[in-house]
Amino acid sequence: MTSLPPRPDRIPEKRSPNSSLSPDYFEKMYADNLDPWNFETSEYEAQKYAATLAALPKARYQSAFEIGGSIGVLTKQLSDRCDSLLSVDVSEQAQARAKQRCQHLPQVQFEVRQIPHQYPSKMFDLTVVSEVGYYWGHTDLPIAQQKIADHLETGGHLLLVHWTPYVDDYPLTGDEVHEAFLQQVGQVYRALTSKREERYRLDLLERL
């Protein structure tokens, strides 16, 4: 079963490609369904999570950052590879569910933050951007790129994983997000892994 991105017709305004989706968008989504993307039950998501973890070249990371952790399904799996993991999301409802799921994992911290404008000040050796980049608009994407690079240690890894089919209410496509980061290869990153499946793509970059 494939978890198709929902098309929330209850949101009447046309989304601008220049503007990121607001926190209200996600709070409405979670108010209607605590797992709107079927993260807990989808075979597609389970296979994608396995590929995500398999792409990480290190057995463990000292300080990892997950942007848009949602209800914590990937967070819990990722925590097995991290001494410290900070997972953020714009939705308080999603964070509450994630905290409950990971309450037995002392190495995981949760914060409600709107990235890129509330970026944490610490440095990381792994940043995971999974199924969240296309929520940024054209204005915020380059800001996010700069913040991620500035807070990623030399030799640290950036893992990008995104759904590639077009979705009407998302400002960007998964391909647009990945291609923007790949334009930094040679100057900011070196490319380590690139994988394309039927409905998602994965790119792993290393900070120069």
**pLDDT recorded at residue 15:** 59
Domain assignment present for residue 148? The answer is yes
Does any domain span residue 2?
no
Q: The domain spanning residue 137 has which CATH number?
A: 3.40.50.150
Domain-embedded: residue 18: no
- The predicted pLDDT at position 16 comes to 72
Per-residue pLDDT 10s for the chain (208 aa) are 344 454 444 343 455 789 999 999 999 999 999 999 999 999 999 999 999 999 999 999 999 999 999 999 999 999 999 999 999 999 999 999 999 999 999 999 999 999 999 999 999 999 999 999 999 999 999 999 999 999 999 999 999 999 999 999 999 999 999 999 999 999 999 999 999 999 999 999 999 9
Q: Is residue 34 part of a domain?
A: no
- 141 within domain boundaries: yes
- Find the radius of gyration of the CA atoms of the chain: 16
Residue 17 has what pLDDT?
86
* Residue 30 counted as domain residue: no
Is this structure's pTM higher than 0.75? yes
Contact 18, 171 (CB under 8 A): yes
Percent pLDDT > 90 in the chain is 91
In the chain, the number of structural domains is 1
Measured CA to CA, the distance from residue 56 to residue 77 in angstroms comes to 12
Whether 10 maps to a domain, the answer reads: no
The three state secondary structure string of the chain is CCCCCCCCCCCCCCCCCCCCCCHHHHHHHHHHCCCCCCCCCCHHHHHHHHHHHHCCCCCCECCEEEECCCCCHHHHHHHCCECCEEEEECCHHHHHHHHHHCCCCCCEEEEECCCCCCCCCCCEEEEEEECCHHHCCCCHHHHHHHHHHHCEEEEEEEEEEEECCCCCCCCCCHHHHHHHHHCCECCCEEEEEEEECCCEEEEEEEEC
**Selection from 141, 132, 117, 167 nearest residue 18 by Cα:** 141
Query: Residue 121 is part of which domain span?
Result: 39-207
**Structure confidence by residue, pLDDT tens digits, 69-96:** 999 999 999 999 999 999 999 999 999 9
Residue 1 lies in a domain: no
